[in-house]
Amino acid sequence: MPVITYRKALNDALAEELARDENVVIIGEEVAQYNGAYKVTEELWKRFGDKRVVDAPISEAGFIGLGIGASMLGLRPVVELMFWSFAFVAYDQIVNNAGCIRYMSGGLVNLPLVIRGPANGGTTHSHTPESSLANHPGVRVVCPATAYDAKGLMKTAIRDNDPVFVMENTLLYGETWEVPEEEYLIPLGVADVKREGRDLSLIAHGRAVMTSLKAAKILAAEHGIKAEVVDLRSIRPLDEEAILQSVRKTHRAVLVDENKPFCAVSAQIAAMIQEKAFDDLDAPVQRVCALDAPAIYSPPLEKQQLPTAERVVEKVLSIA
């Protein structure tokens, strides 16, 4: 099975969907001749041309609005944001328009739109908006943690008839995984157990899954604790049953989340576990989140802002 980067998996997904469906188009800043800020759209302009891969000016409100209108008329736009932090200048288009059109039209108007790009990463533009976006009914939010998941979720997102927001991670683009050559899709709203365990559940999404897997290895090697790692993959829809099944199996849960702790994805999951699996818990649900501060530029502190395996291990040992 070929080993490719997270970036290449996304590129392959886009290329396959552009070739499969002539209604798929890519819109964004520098996505054409420049191949995208993070080279996710590399070679696509040369292969598919100006009408399928369209450079946009520096106006997120403008080109996201363009994508919404185009999707209402039958196209399937994939809109690239250079950073998900820039989505805030187009929040009206994203939430009030994209998120509401199907409902406001009584189901008569589909809105097959994908907005994708890097989130997190530890720079000034490092917001993690998946929790705020998922708060709004009518949209779907996915956070792939591996190249395999990135490709499968992207292809499914493009084929979906509702707006899907794909939150990638700058720190994952160069990482490699095995990805099959044959076509596959990953359904939205289906979590994945990345590591089986019996003593405790580590529940995460995006790059925090990698942090959780590293912590699970340390816990097993140094403390004899077998942690199960559940990768949410999709934030909305959320695979509640997979979460509850794991917690009922292990009776303990630590939620690992690169969101800031206030109103984070992990806060929603903690509430859900408490409501639906309280009697199965042998210890309180715990969270390991990003430090609740703007992006830290002091080099010694910067690495500590996002969850680390060491912080996860410390939290696990506090309830083991």
pLDDT by position in tens, the chain (length 320): 899 999 999 999 999 999 999 999 999 999 999 999 999 999 999 999 999 999 999 999 999 999 999 999 999 999 999 999 999 999 999 999 999 999 999 999 999 999 999 987 556 677 889 999 999 999 999 999 999 999 999 999 999 999 999 999 988 999 999 999 999 999 999 999 999 999 999 999 999 999 999 999 999 999 999 999 999 999 999 999 999 999 999 999 999 999 999 999 999 999 999 999 999 999 999 999 999 988 787 777 777 888 999 999 999 999 98
Q: What is the fold of 192-319?
A: Rossmann fold (3.40.50)
Superfamily for the 3-178 domain: Thiamin diphosphate (ThDP)-binding fold, Pyr/PP domains (3.40.50.970)
The 10s digit of each residue's pLDDT in 2-36 is 999 999 999 999 999 999 999 999 999 999 999 99
Are the folds of 3-178 and 192-319 the same?
A: yes
Give the separation between CA 52 and CA 206, rounded to whole angstroms. 29
Active site residues: 60, 125
pLDDT recorded at residue 123: 63
Give the separation between CA 251 and CA 199, rounded to whole angstroms. 7
Spans of all domains in the chain: 3-178, 192-319
- Of 190, 91, 81, 100, the closest CA to residue 133 belongs to 91
The 10s digit of each residue's pLDDT in 151-194 is 999 999 999 999 999 999 988 999 999 999 999 999 999 999 99
Model pTM? 0.95
